[in-house]
Amino acid sequence: MLAKSSPTTVVTGLLVFAVGAVGFSVIPGMQARVLTTAAAAPTLVIAVNASAYQVAAAVAGWLGGQVIAGPGLPAVYLVAAGSTLFGLALTGLALARG
């Protein structure tokens, strides 16, 4: 998608870097939030939080492979959008529950 939306490979490279930087910048805030929520066992909560990131990366890789092997490469974007909407729905549910 980035390759099709940018006119040059330089712009594509900059966009890929920007996406990575934004994604990486979320982690410190998430770690701070988790630590303040579960201050009684900080080591355990950081380990569980880091493990959740690793599980998410593994599931994303597996799901991407399944999509490429099944419907094909163009379907990856639809599945990515669907999984993003699913994550937003889970976030909304968690926020509603307090």
- pLDDT tens figures, 2-56: 556 667 788 888 888 998 898 888 888 888 888 898 889 999 999 998 899 899 9
Q: Is the confidence at residue 67, as pLDDT, over 80?
A: yes
More confident residue, 5 or 65: 65
Closest CA to 18 of 4, 2, 31: 2
| Same domain membership, residue 14 and residue 42 | no
Domain with 92, as residue range(s), is 38-97
Which amino acid does the sequence have at 56?
A
User: 20 lies in a domain?
Assistant: yes
Say if residues 46 and 32 touch (Cβ distance below 8 Å): no
Do 13 and 60 have their domain in common? no
pTM confidence score: 0.68
pLDDT at 27: 84
Same domain, 15 and 55: no
Quick one: 45 and 83 in the same domain? Answer: yes
Angle at 89 between CA 57 and CA 56, to 5 degrees: 10
What is the structure's pLDDT at 94? 93
Same domain, 52 and 80: yes
In a domain, 55, yes or no: yes
CA distances from 84 to 8, 19, 46, 79 (A): 27, 15, 24, 8
32 within some domain? no
